Chain A
């Protein structure tokens, strides 16, 4: 008993396509033992050489680091309870002579360019209050000088706009170094230490510092009001806030070679107040290779991971030889494992 009107109606049958029937051509990879072993071996083979070359590059870097924050304050602050306050008083006093001379020895021959960094420890340039305390608009255009963004509390002085505003600029690092090798003064090239993109686009060449560092509380360096922001490279470097509480910032470059065992004398103007928050200050002289500065971590990691991969590959092979499982063997199917009795 079939009704004949089915044919006359338009069929609603879905049109066939491989897509709608979920039959598109496809690749179905399976983790076969061979594939897994091969990929682990190849991972091992690629990772170990990378690790080794990274490590050797890291070894080639010659780095001299000198922590000077404690040494460069008068050594008579010995009373542990008061020493901290005395140090702060010392560094805040603008009249005291803060010159400090350190002598270092080059362990190896250092080829130019030798980078001069200052390194701060426990300085949280990534503190939320701090990172947001800037106004990128103000730095770019002279007419935006009243666009303070989140610059408070360093946005105005006596209701006059501070340029550059914000805590970051206010706290600009102001220690200075003079270096002489074997008593011969060596110039530190401070040109092009900042990113070119910052100089051309981020900081205006017609924006000049105004009312900067005029308040009672001096955070750091003062700026020459006749030089536009885009040329204040120390500021630009400082304004690239560091990611981590221990960080280096480029101070300058030395273009002369330093031989091994050369005596390097550094005259430090110890101005910057890291004592208030018990931070540390270091001077770093370092050469570079393709990996940047000295850091063996990545090389070690690569070697460990590579080694582990090789080890796993071998372990898999052994396990496979001892206890192989044929692929797609139906006797492993759950309903075949306990065959029901009939």
Chain B
């Protein structure tokens, strides 16, 4: 990503570190608090959080984009840690720094109980449980038996604690292994092996190739004479490419064994930013500044380097890897947010019930005030003692208050706290199915779907906007060299289709690039002819491709010992593609060190001295390398960069025609969707070179403002270059992208593409991905001032209206004319629009367009666009991307999806879900999202009903007990009701029920609309459910009451009847709504009813309970069974009738499709489907 001037880079360079850093720290705090005990699924990873990389550093190692202000700021003594190199005693003298032993385990034997309980009680649900249980322990309020009230909470706590303990045990075990690994540490001027845990800050450590680093250390020297070391940071940020790190020249030369190494490092306090490091080092009286490229971090692996020496600066838990070791951010789903509103209503009901009970009780007490003393069932007075006192009577007011509290205890499950636990379980189940879905497994990257956030599964069913990155998301981000324009001639490799394998023989070994590239035969021939003008041009062009980069060639052994593969490792896929293609044309990069490169040119090894390298930066948008040619005389500067900045430095006077031709080629490439780069070259005269060299050296050793100085030097040398040509790299569309976009579109989801690419590239990708069709009207906004932006927006709105009127005139009326509008806006215009009053207009316009393409946008703008929609509508947004530049957008959106692709894992780390391919979005949203939403919304409504119906049955009975909260239903049944009697079926149904099959859902994406329209969970449904609940509770309560009125039935017997009646009713209610019956569903529902019978029998077989044998008495009478049948039918008939009528005469789309699925009318439906607007245009 660093040096090549491809456009994608621009996205990174716009990063404003402050923003991301703030948000990251806030988030990290919140995620810290909310991680709780979800560890079961959460990956334990070295999450880099969302810390964006400001710019990846290549060679010189100055933190150039953050500029001198950051890297040369004096570190305040208070905020610094001082490290005496090779003197751990002195280093740790004043203040003991953390040792290198790590403890990821949370608990020890002693702290387990208090700490684990403390963590578990972070959940509101448990606190609610606990408060109620504690209230119940007060003798005046003891409604339930002590055991009965505490047992469920204790059970849940115990299970969670066991799970936590087991996980912690595993962490302890891995900690132990980790801590006992060995490293070579310099002790008494000799390297000795030491366990990792004994390493202290200040010690000098030697690490060999392919070893893992034990702690964060500042590089002192490496096996490479120039002090380069390569590290792989897979463990840290998931990126598998090699990164270069540098030892300072001042320390590189010293040999530690002879005791020469000493010095003082003053560095910042430990922090979690893995891409930032600031320090100063005092060596030999010289002060050297250190940046992020001088530190290698724990968890990285040393590659391609024999050994390195470093001094430990951060150890153990203070290492950046450990500081970053926290969980995924947590979001809350829309459904849950809505649900909380309904829960608020339910708490109002709860309070109402309690108030009714306590007021009635108060009135009853007042009315019978005089009678209380003697009343056999009250007996206010206690005559047993010597003095006659009131017995458990605390006066009118207190009695009412107690009754209020008691009614809260009795009616507690009105607030379906168990729902939160069920929801978590259901989400785990849903996540299991999403992860296990074969259709979302990516073969090419061998990656499964990942659920990183566990609480927004159901949001996937309600998405209205998809914001997609382009590179790596819509496209594969596997760059392929397609076209070259060299010296004004266009070579498009369309002609030659064979893949040429170029190989060279070195020391009896055949070296071959790892990847084959299609080559253009004409160009291949040309590249071999050295003497023609064109041949020279081509030669220079390919040398530029092979040299002007930061690619590191690695040789890989193959099965055949005589053949070795060369793998090009680098941070930018564009550069890789260029180097591979250069190799295919016979310009094979074989070796790179900081001082020279070796290129095999047509079988001839040539060594170029790398005299200087100007890295890519976002201002210049180009990079350059100064090479001393093999003839040791000529010095050339090769420049590669984006066309916008390259044409300004090209010496147009030389060959205007060629420049013109190249420009037109570039235009045609980018309209084909290719990523273009322009390559130029200049030969430096000796005086020029010397001038440059002196200023380069002084700039790169400058202590203040090195980055700015270097940039200045670069700008000076990158001038008047001769145009060599341009390259077109194809970033292929991922498989199935057009179809996926089409599906999403018909599902009513608006797809917006936000890319850093050029407008032409973006538009052409838009066409090839069928995002744009030829029938669409495009509104293009690219302006350079606020006023012109305003005008464009206004024009756009006028155009919208016009189109609407036109389409209205043609009789559409469905807003279809509007849906054919496409808005294309670029980053520069967005600068003037976002965060100004124009935002509103942009929103208005954008919401009228079916497609919005934003090109050349910076990462923060991506987030800004997401926020534009998110803050103004209720609609759910989803952002999908693969690179670090998408992180802010992924976190801004309601649902963030990371593509685990080529660009590292930053996006994945920040995402809620991660998958391998863009096209998986279709099954994810249309199938899993739909199911998750339907299941979860039904489950929530059902749980409200289930608990409320039970509470109401208790409440009605309380009205017949002088409002004293006696429950006919035994304590144990009340407690087991939501634990055993009714919980399993809701979870099973919540995980497994399917309204429609996968095939139907994919075939008719419109069905997704039900989630967007919130059809399965809304205020209306809630109130209907509540009314139904009211009726059912009345039926369940009053049928037995009236059937047994005035009979000799005792409380326990009728209590058992109520228990069983409610359980059967609630389960049959569920059975009526189940849409797909698996054997598991049958087992869960009918099994629950059977389990209830068994539990009731067991409870009634305990002779120490008052209700002993009651069930067996009452079940022996016919009346009991008649009541059960009557209740079930009477309670559920209204629901059945309403359900039938709605399904029959107000059928939802889902209902019709279910019928069609069952009765096979799909054929007819197909004909009636809207034809898909198809654009024949392809790239």
Using a CB–CB cutoff of 8 Å, the interface residues on chain A facing chain B are 1-4, 6, 9, 11-14, 16, 20-22, 24-33, 36, 43, 47, 50, 54, 88, 117, 119, 123-131, 134, 136-137, 140, 152-157, 167, 170-171, 195, 197-198, 201-202, 215-217, 219-220, 240-250, 273, 276-278, 290-293, 295, 297-298, 301-302, 305, 308-309, 312, 316, 320, 323, 325-336, 338-342
Contact = CB atoms under 8 A, between A and B. Distances in A.
Interface in B365-395: 368, 371, 374-379, 381-384, 391-392
A273 B376 contact: yes
Interface residues of B, number: 118
Given A127-B378, A320-B1144, 17 more contacts: A2-B515, A26-B1076, A29-B1075, A31-B1139, A127-B962, A128-B961, A128-B964, A137-B1104, A195-B1109, A245-B962, A292-B1119, A297-B1045, A305-B1133, A327-B1158, A327-B1159, A338-B814, A341-B810
B237 to A, nearest CB: 20
Nearest to A172: B376
A89 B1154 CA distance: 75
Given A129-B964, A273-B376, A295 B447 contact: no
10 contacts: A9-B446, A36-B1136, A124-B377, A127-B378, A244-B1046, A290-B1118, A298-B1042, A316-B1140, A327-B1158, A341-B816
Given A50-B1122, A197-B1109, A332 B1152 contact: yes
Contacts of B1075: 28-29
A297 B1077 contact: no
B437 interface: yes
A245 B1161 contact: no
Nearest to B1122: A298
Nearest to A327: B1155
Interface string B995-1008: 00010000010100
B900 to A, nearest CB: 11
Given A31-B1140, A328-B1161, A14 B441 contact: yes
Contacts of B1117: 292
- The residue in A16, A50, A334 that gathers the most chain B C-beta atoms within 10 A of its C-beta is A334
A200 to B, nearest CB: 9
A22 B1047 contact: no
Contacts of B375: 276-277
B1051 A126 contact: yes
Interface string B1125-1153: 01001100100110110011101010011
B1039 interface: yes
Contacts of B381: 153, 217
A12 B375 CA distance: 75
Nearest to A341: B812
Contacts of B632: none
B19 interface: no
Which 8 pairs of residues, A with B, have the shortest CB-CB distance? A328-B1156, A171-B376, A153-B382, A328-B1155, A341-B812, A197-B1109, A128-B964, A330-B1165
B814 A156 contact: no
A31 B1141 CA distance: 10
A47 B1122 CA distance: 10
- The residue in A29, A246, A339 that gathers the most chain B C-beta atoms within 10 A of its C-beta is A29
A293 B1118 CA distance: 12
Contacts of B371: 276-278
Contact of A27 (B1004, B1043, B1077, B1154): B1077
A277 B1045 CA distance: 21
B1148 to A, nearest CB: 8
B1123 A21 contact: no
B1078 interface: yes
B915 to A, nearest CB: 13
Contacts of B1105: 136
A124 B1165 contact: no
B450 to A, nearest CB: 11
A247 to B, nearest CB: 7
B816 A340 contact: yes
B1129 A47 contact: yes
Interface of B: 368, 371, 374-379, 381-384, 391-392, 432-433, 435-438, 441, 443-448, 478-480, 514-517, 577, 580, 807, 810-814, 816, 960-962, 964-966, 968, 992, 994, 998, 1004, 1006, 1009, 1039, 1041-1055, 1075-1080, 1103-1106, 1108-1109, 1112-1113, 1117-1119, 1122-1123, 1126, 1129-1130, 1133, 1136-1137, 1139-1140, 1143-1145, 1147, 1149, 1152-1159, 1161, 1164-1165, 1168-1170
Nearest to B1049: A243
Contacts of A28: 1075-1077, 1154, 1157-1158
Given A241-B1051, A248-B1048, A202 B1103 contact: yes
A260 to B, nearest CB: 24
Contact of A335 (B384, B517, B1006, B1130): B1006
Contact of B441 (A13, A128, A136, A331): A13
Contacts of A31: 1136, 1139-1140, 1143-1144
Contact of A126 (B433, B514, B960, B1155): B960
A293 B1112 CA distance: 19
A164 B992 CA distance: 55
Nearest to B1118: A290
A114 to B, nearest CB: 15
Given A33-B1144, A195-B1113, A290-B1118, A124 B1168 contact: no
A271 B1054 CA distance: 30
Contact of A123 (B376, B580, B966, B1108): B376
Given A6-B444, A305-B1129, A340-B1170, A136 B383 contact: no
A56 B1045 CA distance: 18
Nearest to A242: B1050
A104 B648 CA distance: 121
B443 A13 contact: yes
A13 B994 contact: no
B377 A127 contact: yes
A127 B961 contact: yes
Given A127-B961, A340-B1170, A341-B811, A301 B1039 contact: yes
A129 B392 contact: yes
Contact of A43 (B376, B378, B1046, B1129): B1129
Nearest to B1142: A31
Given A6-B444, A127-B961, A130-B377, A16 B438 contact: yes
A12 B377 contact: no
A305 B1130 contact: yes
A156 B384 contact: yes
Contacts of B443: 6, 11, 13
A22 B1044 contact: no
B306 to A, nearest CB: 24
Contacts of A24: 1078-1080
Contacts of B998: 22
B920 to A, nearest CB: 13
A278 B1170 CA distance: 77
- The residue in B961, B1161, B1164 that gathers the most chain A C-beta atoms within 10 A of its C-beta is B961
B1126 A305 contact: yes
A14 B437 contact: yes
A124 B383 CA distance: 21
A62 to B, nearest CB: 16
Nearest to A302: B1126
A87 to B, nearest CB: 12
Contact of A134 (B1039, B1106, B1159): B1106
B1168 A331 contact: yes
A250 to B, nearest CB: 6
Nearest to A16: B438
B441 A20 contact: no
Contacts of A308: 1133
Contacts of B435: 14
B384 A124 contact: no
A298 B382 contact: no
A273 B814 CA distance: 79
A119 B1046 contact: yes
